[in-house]
Amino acid sequence: MYCAYRCYDPFLLSPHSVPPATVSRPHQPDATRLDRRRRKSDKKQTTMSSSSSNPSLSDIFGQGHNAYFSNGPITRLSFIRLNNQLLDKASTHCSARYLTFEELNPLRDPQGKLAFVSYDDVAEAMGRPYALDEKTQIAAFDPDEHHPNVIFLGMDLDPSDQAGAGGEQVQLGHYTGVPYFALDVTSEHYAGVKRQIQTQTGGRRLKYTPTRIDLTLDHGQSAIYSQARALLDWNTRNRYCPSCGGRTLSTHGGAKVVCPPADRGVARPRACPTRIGLHNQAFPRTDPTAVIAAVSADAKRVLLGRGRRWPAHYFSCLSGFVEPGESIETATRREAYEETGVRVDRVQIHSSQPWPYPSTMLIGVIAQCVEGGEAITYPDTELEEARWFELAEVAHALDHGANPMWEPPVKGYTGPRVPPSQLMAHQVLRAVLRLFHR
C-alpha cells in the first residue's frame, strides 16, 4: 500500500493494521545490500540538504494550502475583546470600518465587492456599545433596550492598506492600524441607517444581495466576510439563554454571551441554573467536518459521491461531522463506511477551511482503502450514488468541469462535474493527484 504522504509511521496501528505479533521479521540484509542502502540514503540526504541547510515541513509535505474564507488581512487581536475601553476607542474612531449585514447578507457595491461604512454612518442607531465596562454593563442590563449585534473583527496592521480608510489609524496599546467591525442592521431599528448609507454613497447603488453561498469575493474579502457572518449568525441564534429563556447580553466584542442575573438592576425572580459556577456564558462553536478523498488500495482511483438533491453528474468527496469522542481519523473511517461501505485504513490530514454556513470547520483528509475493502454497499441511504473514478478522469474534471453545483455545467463539458477551487473538496482532490497521478 502507498502511504498518503510518503512518510513512514511504523508505530501507527489502525483497526485494519496487522498486529505486531503477526509481523514477520524481515530477512537480514547482507553487508553488500546494507552498503548499497547506506549510499542511497546518503545521496537522498545530500539532495534534501542542497536546497537548505535546515529541513522544513515544506520539503517533506509541499507548500501549504491557503484556504478560501481564511487568512485575510485582519489580525484578530482577540485579547482586545476583553478591554471595553480599547473597544470603545476603536469602534468610535474615524478610521473604523463597519461591514453591515441584513439577514446575514453583507452590503456590496455594484461590482459585488464588500462595501464598508464609517462609525458616523451607524452612530445614531448603534450608539456606543462599549462605553461601559463589562461588569457595569451586566449589572445595568435592560432586556427591553436595543443591544446592537456588533462584532470586533480585529485590525488591519499593514500600512499599505490604510489608504482605504483615508490614511487614518488608531492606536490600541502597542498596535496601530485600522479597526474592523461587523454590524447586523436587519431590524427596523436600523432603517434610518440604511437610508443614510444609500444617501451618502452618491448613488453607487449599494445593496444587500441575498446569497446562499458566496464564492465570488477575492481571497482577502472572503476571510473578512467569513468571520463576520459566522459570529453575527452565532449571536443571533443565542439571544436567549437555553436554560432559563432570559435575554442574553453579547460581550467580549461579540465573542461571548452571558445571561445577566438582573433586569434593570432588579434580580430576576427565577435564578438561572447556569449561574451556579461559571456556566452562565457561552462562546462561539465550530463544528468539525471531515472532507474525505478516499483512494483505492493501489492508489489508482478515488471515490466520489453524489447527494440525492444534487444535479445530475455532480460529484464530490465524501464528508461528515466529527462526533463527540471521535478523532478526525476515526470519524473518517466511520463516515466512509456508513456512506458507501468502503473500509479505509491510513488517514492523513491535508488542510482545513472555515465554512461560515453557519459555523463549520472543513478538514480535508486523504484516506486509503484496505485491500479488499473497496466494494460499495451503501449501508446508509444518504447518497444517491457513489463511484470509483480513475485519477486521469478526476484530473480532467478538475481542469475542465469544476464549478458550483447551483450554476449550469461548464459549456461544452460533458464529464462528471466537481466543486470549484474555492472549496476544500477541490483542493484535497488536487492533493491526491499530486501524490499519485503520473
> Where are the chain's structural domains?
74-282, 287-436
* Structure confidence at residue 166 as a pLDDT band (50, 70, 90): low
In the beta sheet, which residues pair with residue 366? Answer: 293, 348
pLDDT at 1: 34
Q: Is the pLDDT of residue 118 over 90?
A: yes
Sign of CA dihedral 220, 222, 225, 229: negative
pLDDT single digits (tens) 249-262:
999 999 999 988 87
Q: Is the pLDDT of residue 235 over 60?
A: yes
pLDDT at 210: 87
pLDDT at 28: 36
pLDDT at 202: 59
pLDDT at 249: 94
Which residue in the block uniquely carries the three cell numbers 472532507? Answer: 291
What interhelical angle do 391-400 and 424-436 show, nearest 10? 140
Measured distance CA(199)–CA(153) in Å, rounded: 26
Q: Is the pLDDT of residue 189 over 50?
A: yes
| Number of residues that this document lists for the chain | 438
pLDDT at 317: 98
CATH of 287-436, one of 1.10.1040.10, 3.40.50.2300, 3.90.79.10, 3.90.1150.10: 3.90.79.10
Cell of 298: 493501489
- Give the number of other Cβ atoms within 10 Å of residue 56's Cβ: 10
Lowest mean pLDDT among 170-179, 270-279, 286-295, 426-435: 270-279
Between 1 and 205, the more confident residue is 205
Percentage of residues in the chain with pLDDT exceeding 70?
A: 82
Q: Is the pLDDT of residue 108 over 80?
A: yes
Average pLDDT score over the chain: 84
pLDDT at 116: 95
Percentage of residues in the chain with pLDDT exceeding 90?
A: 66
Q: Is the pLDDT of residue 16 over 50?
A: no
Task: With beta carbons less than 8 A apart as the criterion, state whether 318 and 310 touch.
Answer: no
* Structure confidence at residue 11 as a pLDDT band (50, 70, 90): very low
pLDDT at 164: 53
pLDDT single digits (tens) 252-304:
999 999 988 877 767 766 667 665 544 567 889 899 999 999 999 999 999 99
pLDDT at 30: 39
Sign of CA dihedral 386, 392, 398, 402: negative
Lowest mean pLDDT among 26-40, 359-373, 416-430: 26-40
pLDDT at 276: 54
Measured distance CA(158)–CA(75) in Å, rounded: 10
Measured distance CA(124)–CA(137) in Å, rounded: 20
Sign of CA dihedral 170, 176, 178, 184: negative
pLDDT single digits (tens) 35-75:
444 444 444 444 444 444 677 767 767 778 889 999 999 99
Nearest to 1 by CA among 370, 390, 350, 389: 370
- Residues whose CB falls within 8 Å of the CB of residue 152, separated by 6 or more in sequence, listed in order: 80, 81, 87, 90, 91, 179, 180, 181, 253, 254, 255
- Residues whose CB falls within 8 Å of the CB of residue 369, separated by 6 or more in sequence, listed in order: 294, 295, 296, 297, 303, 342, 343, 344, 345
Measured distance CA(335)–CA(317) in Å, rounded: 11
pLDDT single digits (tens) 306-333:
999 999 999 999 999 999 999 999 999 9
pLDDT at 39: 45
Measured distance CA(320)–CA(330) in Å, rounded: 11
pLDDT single digits (tens) 378-400:
877 789 999 999 999 999 999 99
Measured distance CA(285)–CA(231) in Å, rounded: 9
Between 270 and 229, the more confident residue is 229
